[in-house]
Amino acid sequence: MSLNCKLQISINNISEEKAKAVEKALEPDNINFPKGLSLKVEKIDNKLVFNFQNNGNMKKLISTVDEILEHVHVSLEVIK
| C-alpha separations of 56 from 9, 34, 36, 69, 77 in Å | 19, 10, 6, 20, 32
- Sorted by where each starts, the structural domains of the chain and their CATH numbers stand as 3-78 (3.30.310.50)
Q: Which residue has the higher pLDDT, 15 or 2?
A: 15
**Rounded CA gap, 12 and 54, in Å?**
24
Average predicted confidence (pLDDT) for the chain: 89
Question: 10 Å Cβ neighbour count for 3?
Answer: 11
Distance CA 50, CA 47 (A): 10
- Amino acid in the structure at residue 3: L
Chain segment 37-69, per-residue pLDDT in tens: 999 999 999 999 999 999 988 888 999 899 999
% of the chain beyond a pLDDT of 90 = 64
For position 40, what pLDDT does the model report?
A: 92
